[in-house]
Every structure is written in C-alpha cells, then in structure tokens.
Structure 1
C-alpha cells in the first residue's frame, strides 16, 4: 500500500474528485487521498490521551492526594510533567483534528459538482445525510463504550453529538471559527464561576448554621435546610473515605453488573442532564481545527519559519503560564480537602482563567513541532507508525478501553487501586508500543482498522472492502 508524501496539500482532497460532470456515488476516502500530517497529529493525540485516562481506569478517587503535596515523591514529578505538558492538550488536539475531519468528509462531494448535497441524488444518499448517519453511529458506539465496555471517560458519544453541531459552522470564515475558543473560554469561566459560587454559598450557609448550632441556639428551618443541602453537595462532590472505599469495592467486584453500577448514574447524568455543559469546549476546538485547516496550518502549508515562530511563542508563553498555575495550586490546594477552605476564602478562582489559554498555546506548539518534524522528514519511521495509529484511531481508542478494563476492573485481572501512579505508565508504554507495531502491520493488509471498517460500512449501509484494491497495493 502506498504512503502519502508529507507535502500533500489540502487541495489534494478538494480537487479531482469526479470524472468531469459524471456524478459518482459517495464512498469512503481512499488511501491515496489521505493527508499523512493529519493522521500523524491524530495518532499523537490518541496516544497522548491515554496518559490522562489511565489513572481513571485504575485508581481510586483522590489518588493524587497521596503525592501531590510531596515533591520528594517520584509520582509528584511524573504528575507535574503530565499536567504541564499534556493534560488537556492532547484532548484539544484530538478535537481539533476531529473538526478537520468534518470538512474533509464533506469536501469531496461539495467540490465535485455532483448533485445537491441536501437531497437524495441518483447515485445514492446525500453527503449531508451520510454525515449525520456517521455521527449517529458514533453516538451509538460511544454509548457502547461507556455503558457496555464501562469506560466512564468515553468521548465518542460527545464527539458524535457535538460533531452534528459543528457541521453547521463549517462554511464560516476561519477568523470567526477561531474566535470560538476565546469566546468559550470567557463564557466557560463565567459559568464555572457561577457554579463555584453556588457551591461556596452552600458551604458558607452551612458554616453559619453550624456556628449557631454550636452556640446551643435553635436552628431555623432555613438553617436546617442549609445543613442538609451542604451534606448532599459534599457527598456528590467531596466523597469521604467510607464512600471511596465503597466505590473501590464495587470496582474490584468480580461481578460485571456491580462494577457497572459504580459509574452508571454519573455517566448517564453527564450524557443527558449535564450534556449542555459538556458541549462548548470540544465544539470550540473543533471549529478551531476547521479554521487551522482552511489556513493550511494542519496540512503543513505554512513556511517553516512560521511554525518555528508558533512553537517558540507557544512554549515560551504557554509553559510560563501553566507552570505558574501548577505552582499556585500546589501552594493553595495541596490536596482535595484543601479545596474547601480555599473556597471559603476565595469568591472567584481567577487563576482558572489561565487554563484555556495555556492549553491552546501549548497544543499549537506541540502541533508545530510535529509538523516541523514531518516537513523535515525527521524520524520518518516513527512518523509513519504514528500515521498508522492515527488512521486506526477509532480501533486504537476502544482498544485502550478493552485493555485497561481487562487489567484493572474486578471482572478482569482485578488490579484496580493496586498499582502506584508511576507503575501505570509502564502499561501505557506497552500499549503505545503494541499499537505502533500492530497498526502499520494491519494497514499493510487491510484498508481500515476493524472498527473503522464497521463504522464506514454502517454509514454507507454497504459492506466496504477490507482488502486494498490491486491499484493501491504495493
């Protein structure tokens, strides 16, 4: 199977998609049409996401309380490196590339001169209909990943839902698309501050009622309600040791349904009741990805000098901001319970404003570095493997779920809450190695990963050929 040259431009995907004026039926993107740089960025993001996900597969709540106030502990420094360099950045990169995928999916139909994309053509269903079928199936796969395979941090469901919203913005000018990031950052800070202050008010009302009670005075009905309200909030947001022990017991149970009961309600609430709060950040990042595609950033069309400038700016300013933020929280909130007295004394978490901006600066720096490696043909063997991982991102993402649940959950090897934090990253390295080896081998023999093949076949409602055609074969 042939490999795309790294210099492939965005125009490659937007032109030469039909034979003169003869409409062709919609079909999955071919190997020759892939943009390797985008696959590489997706592969890096996919592997990087596991750095943040694996503790939530494997460790009890508040696991970091044991080390995040102790610089003499190796876990402290490992957590610091992951937080500073990767936390939020890999998910942001993955969301941006997902936004690029929305444009690429539609581009061939919209630029081909074929019949309208809004209705049924003589050659089959419209590209719009196919797109929404594609997202609908992704939502279903996400529900399976979260409620059957039991990954409480699943993103497939959200990407399917948010992708349907992002679709309608794809034709906007890139400058307006990019404005979504600062807009969502500011609005998100305002909404989070409102939520934070509502919890703070419950806490302050509880303290006032508690003080009255300690003075031997009779509590009013409102004060009694204030105590009850805070206890409920504390149970939901600040579980105590007994509750954590009970949650751990469930996760270590050999019974699948007992394990499932641990996160079932929380996950379903997040996917329904709190869905509106989950939409905006991924949506803004998808729109940013669309803008960066239109500007030629993610396809490597900028001159090297501009990538160097972006990388130096991103690392210079981004690392300064995130290091300050990390140190601030280390000093003021060294563990989970320290958040409560911090909240009592601070009506607004101003330092939280740093997060969305340092994250974008660093993700742009990371992406610039990767694109410079691609343009310079440095470590080409590794980049080719990362491209294969990215091309099979769906399969590899679900493989993370299958491996980690099998190792840590009670119905598997029952290693939940058994490992030190640093030990988790030996497993991460093993999974990375496995996927970097297996993905390119698989793609030598097949056009798609197994789940990519199923997703495409369901989208087009037609069984797709797994083997590459003789024309594209080596």
Structure 2
C-alpha cells in the first residue's frame, strides 16, 4: 500500500552523510530518511506479492522451485509489505493533518480517490489507493486522541477483525470441502484493452464499496498505528526510541515469521477453508513482521548503518508514480492486449521479473528526484490539491 508518499522535499544532507560517527537527530527542515526507506522497501514487497495477480498463477499449484519462491514470498512479504505501507500512509496523513489541517487533508484524499479510480478502471483491478482515500477520513477523529488511546483502539479494531476471520474459517471446517477462490482476474485470451476497461468499469463501484467495508476495521487500525508513530517521532527520531525498537524487532519477528510459515503451508492447500484461515494468518502475521521490520530498520537508522538500503529512499519518495508504473509495466507485459503472458509464468520467473522491475526503479527514482524534484504523479497530486503552480508543502520534519 496510500501509495503516495509524504510531501516532497529537497534531498537532505543525511542521505549523503558518511555512516561513521555518532547518531544525530534530524535537523529542522531536513527530511527523515527512515520513513522513505521503509516505504521504498514496502513498495518492492508489494510488487513481489502482486505479481501473482499480474501473472495469473495460482499459489497452491506451484511445485519445485516455484513453490520454494512462493513459500519465501509468503514468509517475508505476503501481508507484511501491505501492512507496513498502510501504517506509513497513516503516518504521512497524520503529518499533513498536523501541519496543514483537516481541509487540506480532505482535499488530498479526494484527489487520491480520483487517481485510484482511474488506476482501477484504466490500468489494474487491484488498486488500493481509492480504498485508502475513503477510509483515511477516519483519521479526522484522531486529533484529540492520545497515543495510548490510538494504540488501544487499533488493537481493539484489528483484534476484532482477526477474530471474525478466524470464525469464518472455523465455520467451514465441518462443512463440505469447497475449492479455493483464485482471487485473480479471469482474462479471456484475445481480450482487447477496451473490453478489459469496460469490464473493470462495471465492477468498480461494487469492488470499492465491498473492499472498503470488508477492510475498514483492519486498515483503520493500521492507520491509527501510523498516527501513533507520527505523534511519538518513532520514525523521525529513532535514536530516542531504542528500547521500543528492540522490542518491536524481537517480538515482531518472533511472532510474525512462524505465522508466515503457517501462511505458506495454508497457501499450498486448495480448499476454501485454508483460504479463509489464510486471511487472518496473513494479516496478523503480516502486521507482526512489519513491526519487526520497523524495529530492525529503526535500529540501523538510529546508528546510521542503513548502508545500501538508503537507495530505497528515492523509490519511497516517488511511491505513487512507482506504484502506478508497476501496474502499467506488468499489465502491459502479461495481459492479453500486451505481451500475452498471462497464465504462462510460475512464481519463480514472475517474482524474478518483479525484483528486476522494482530494483530498476531505484536508480530511475533517484534520477527523477535529481532532475525534477518529485515524481510526475506526485506533482500532479500537489497541483490538484493546491491548484496550478500550487505551493510546495513544508518539508517533512
């Protein structure tokens, strides 16, 4: 997952600073490196997971090397990357709300709803931007909430959503075995681009309303955790939160990785029961692992030891443009109106292609930032929010 990142800002000195020396806080006017690195890594992970949908292969049918790659995807990325991205969305939206107020945030969410709609209809049915834009209106309720209240509310909403998912799985245990839903589009060979667009346009309203209602409790819970992180400065001042980051790293990975192994096993089963159980396991384990990643990366950032991972910051700063570009590249390559590769690739080759595309976006993003200062869709979003030639948003603290 918004895919759009926080407001654009000029490159910061920290990005080119040497790794040696004691950690220092982010100075006023600088842009914190850690949130962009996390967002860039999450974006790559989302592509690795989404390539199943783009390529049209079914998880439980994979064998050999393909199954091995699918298992690694489930353990380290599936549910993990999207949970991290959603929390970062809440983090960025909370910052905008604090700096510029409710009117600007609502205007931005309206723009994201339009962009998400266009993405769904014109490019790919798996859009999440429109869902985020609608559900993020709940962030207006967080203004008067303390950090502890935000965390408690997030735990209550997320826990209830996970419980409902487990009950749905238990309800099928004694029933007649049913085949697993594919979750991927049924693209007839030879379909034209116009035919695919017409089909998606007919599905959009139901998909948006259904997805928003189904994911509401879980996504809002993740947004609230992001707001809590923004309020405490967890991502902008990681050196001030070392004990918490250590706990997140240890317990997040200790809980999340075993649940990832369970998810990988469930995804080898072709039954509806396994599918229903896989949803809460995927998201519960995904959240735990995502928090573990925050802990590990936060500790590295606090010690200025991110090293090569710094390259992901550029991708994170133009996340909206990269996210849409991924959809354009993958659908053009796999879909019937493009490269006609849909249903012909297994997990190993498809994930390899996803890694290639995601890693190529790193130097391209750095070049775009150096040449233009922000990505094309980030510039468009800013223009629509603030008007033609609209003002640049304040630099992130």
TM over 0.5: yes
Q: Conserved in 1, the CA contact under 8 Å of 2:47 and 2:358? A: no
Equivalent residue, structure 2, for 1:77: 68
Are 1:369 and 2:366 an aligned pair?
no
Are 1:50 and 2:41 an aligned pair?
no
Equivalent residue, structure 1, for 2:197: 260
Higher relative contact order (CA 8 A, sep 6+): 2
Aligned-pair distance for 1:290? 0.9
SS in structure 2 at match of 1:377: coil
Aligned-pair distance for 1:266? 4.6
SS in structure 2 at match of 1:247: coil
Are 1:440 and 2:378 an aligned pair?
no
**C-alpha separation between the residues in 1 aligned to 2:181 and 2:99?**
50
Are 1:275 and 2:216 an aligned pair?
no
**C-alpha separation between the residues in 1 aligned to 2:181 and 2:386?**
46
SS in structure 1 at match of 2:120: helix
Equivalent residue, structure 2, for 1:314: 252
Structure 1 residues 10 and 195: alpha-carbon distance in aligned structure 2, compared to 1, 3 A threshold: farther
Aligned length: 376
**C-alpha separation between the residues in 1 aligned to 2:211 and 2:355?**
34
**C-alpha separation between the residues in 2 aligned to 1:438 and 1:351?**
36
Q: Conserved in 2, the CA contact under 8 Å of 1:99 and 1:290? A: yes
- 1:195-252 deviation digits (Å, cap 9, x = unpaired): 5577789x66xx9xxxxxxxxxxxxxxxxxxxxxxxxxx89x757xxxx9x9342xx3
Which of 26, 36, 39 is the aligned partner of 1:39?
A: 36
Are 1:95 and 2:120 an aligned pair?
no
Structure 1 residues 136 and 454: alpha-carbon distance in aligned structure 2, compared to 1, 3 A threshold: same
- 1:52-96 deviation digits (Å, cap 9, x = unpaired): 111101115xx22322xx5xx111111111111111111111111
Are 1:247 and 2:154 an aligned pair?
no
Q: Conserved in 2, the CA contact under 8 Å of 1:170 and 1:290? A: no
Q: Conserved in 2, the CA contact under 8 Å of 1:389 and 1:439? A: yes
Equivalent residue, structure 1, for 2:19: none
**C-alpha separation between the residues in 2 aligned to 1:388 and 1:80?**
29
Q: Conserved in 2, the CA contact under 8 Å of 1:46 and 1:393? A: yes
Structure 1 residues 313 and 197: alpha-carbon distance in aligned structure 2, compared to 1, 3 A threshold: closer
Q: Conserved in 2, the CA contact under 8 Å of 1:39 and 1:390? A: yes
Aligned-pair distance for 1:379? 4.8
**C-alpha separation between the residues in 2 aligned to 1:80 and 1:357?**
17
Equivalent residue, structure 2, for 1:157: 130
**C-alpha separation between the residues in 2 aligned to 1:325 and 1:57?**
21
Equivalent residue, structure 2, for 1:416: 342
**What's the TM-score, normalizing by structure 1?**
0.71
Q: Conserved in 2, the CA contact under 8 Å of 1:8 and 1:36? A: no
Q: Conserved in 2, the CA contact under 8 Å of 1:58 and 1:408? A: yes
Which of 136, 142, 145 is the aligned partner of 1:172?
A: 145
**C-alpha separation between the residues in 2 aligned to 1:358 and 1:193?**
13
**What's the TM-score, normalizing by structure 2?**
0.83
Aligned-pair distance for 1:184? 2.3
Equivalent residue, structure 1, for 2:269: 335
**C-alpha separation between the residues in 2 aligned to 1:8 and 1:439?**
26
Pair member with larger Rg: 1
**C-alpha separation between the residues in 2 aligned to 1:420 and 1:194?**
32
Q: Conserved in 2, the CA contact under 8 Å of 1:102 and 1:167? A: no
Equivalent residue, structure 1, for 2:14: 5
Structure-to-structure mapping, 1:294-309, within 5 angstroms? 294-299=231-236, 300-309=238-247
Structure 1 residues 154 and 174: alpha-carbon distance in aligned structure 2, compared to 1, 3 A threshold: same
Structure 1 residues 399 and 302: alpha-carbon distance in aligned structure 2, compared to 1, 3 A threshold: same
Quote the RMSD (CA, aligned, Å).
3.2
Are 1:145 and 2:119 an aligned pair?
yes
Structure-to-structure mapping, 1:105-124, within 5 angstroms? 105-109=96-100
SS in structure 2 at match of 1:374: helix
**C-alpha separation between the residues in 1 aligned to 2:159 and 2:307?**
40
- 1:247-268 deviation digits (Å, cap 9, x = unpaired): 342xx32511332355555543
**C-alpha separation between the residues in 2 aligned to 1:359 and 1:438?**
29
Structure 2: segments with no counterpart, 5+ residues: 1-9, 16-22
Structure 1 residues 167 and 193: alpha-carbon distance in aligned structure 2, compared to 1, 3 A threshold: same
- 1:260-280 deviation digits (Å, cap 9, x = unpaired): 355555543221245311222
Equivalent residue, structure 2, for 1:323: 261
SS in structure 1 at match of 2:388: coil
